[in-house]
Structures are given as structure tokens and as C-alpha cells.
Amino acid sequence: MSAAATLAEALKPLRADPARAAVLLDVDGTLAPIVRHADDAHVPEPTRAQLIAVAKRYGVVACVSGRQATTARRIVSLGSIAYVGAHGSELLRPGGTEVDLDADVAAHEDAVRSFAHDAWSDELHRLRVRREDKRAIAAYHWRGAPDEEAAEEAVRAVAERAQAAGLATHWGRKVLEVRPPVAIDKGRGVRRLLQAADVGAALYVGDDLTDLDAFAGLRDLAAEGRLEAVVCVGVRSDETPERLLEEADLLVDGPLGVRALLTALLD
């Protein structure tokens, strides 16, 4: 069976009743190619055009990102869909202006920001570690640093300090996130997004370990009888974690493969 035939078969439950289907996509590495400097990320116009068409046809369309919801919306440049930001802790509804922050996470926002202020150092600046303020999450990126090995070592010292302070740490691809000591994951965010939605089938597309939480969240909803069909798609690249490849129902090759998937949703 060809890859195209496999994709078409997998998408049948969504295409059968688009009004009751949810299409959920990660942003970086999925809709937008990974770039050396995160601020340069953008969704290519051909992909964006397909996403606009999908948003018009399907009942729920959302981007689920590790970035803040407002930042994800800027990168995608589409206001008519929902955004689940900061790994599930933020929810920005279609056309909304106010970001809804998970109450359990919000309770620790001041503590995380205070830690981030105190942990920043001249050494991190010299090594060109890039810090990112996601309200209740502080991120430290070293992708593109002149000496990535030294930068990572300095960031690991930040992680040890955060753990000693009672905060949670999470590692991604060349990034450390310091988080509140409460559950934060894309699965929780996806469940919150779909809580009141009338959907019977859901698709999730992602490329990193954090997307496994979204896979699990949707599969739990199916096990509870709240979804009739779930399709979890992994986006393959040189950096894709092995676990994602193993747990995905289907694989596509990079952002171009995601664009082909969006096209298949419209056929």
C-alpha cells in the first residue's frame, strides 16, 4: 500500500464528518520548519493557505505549542483558530484577545519569574543562551550558540538550581524549561480545549516528546468513550525522538509532509 493510500485511510474518520472533527497541530517542526534562531520561525504561505481551508471545513482547528499562545498565533498568522500555548497551560480561543492561563499554573507564576531573574548570569549571556519568558515557564535555549556544548553545560547548572528550589524542569531539543511543580502538558491542554466541543474524531500532528502527551490525552478521551476515533501523526526529521516514531499511528516527512496531510484533509 502506498503512503498516500495509508494517509487517506487514516484520515477517513475525520473526513467522514468534518463538522465533528478536531485537527490539532504542533507549530515548530510541524507547521513551521525548525530554524537556527527561534524568532525567525514562520509558517510558509502554501501551508498557511491549506490550514485556512482546513479551518473553514473542520469543527475544531487548533495549534498546540510550547510557545506562548500569542507567539504561536503570530507565527501562524491566523486568528480564526484556537491556540493552546505554553505546553497546554494557556488557551486562546478563536478570535480571542485574552489568554486563559490554567489556574494551578498561574499560582506559581511569580515564583518562576523570580527564579528566572535570579538565575540569569553574565556567563549565560556570554555564551549566548537565549532566555524566554512564558509567564509561568522560563525557557533557556542554546540552539545556535557559538559553543553549544558550553552553553548546555551552563544551562544544566540552572536546572540543578531550579530543582533545588522546588521547581520542575523539562528538557526539549536544545532547550530547558523551568516550570511550576504542577502537571503541565499538551495532553491536559488538549483535553481542556475539547471539553465542551462536539467532536467524535480528532487528529494530532507533532514532532517532539512533548507531543506524546497530546497523543496520550486524545487516546485517553477515546478510552473514556468521548472520542470515537483518534489519529496520532508523527513528523519525521533527523531530530525526531525514537519514542515519537514508535508511538505514532502514522509518520509524515517534515513540514512538507504536514502540508500534504492538510491537502489530504481537503480532498
Active site residues: 26
Containing H/E element for 22?
Answer: strand 21-25
Considering just the CA atoms, what is the radius of gyration of the chain in Å? 18
Pick from 133, 88, 90: which is nearest to 113 by CA? 133
Give the strand pairing for 90-92 and 168-172. unpaired
What residue ranges in 44-174 does DSSP mark as E strands?
60-64, 82-85, 90-92, 100-101, 130-133, 138-141, 168-172
Nearest 5°: the CA angle 124, 35, 236 is 120
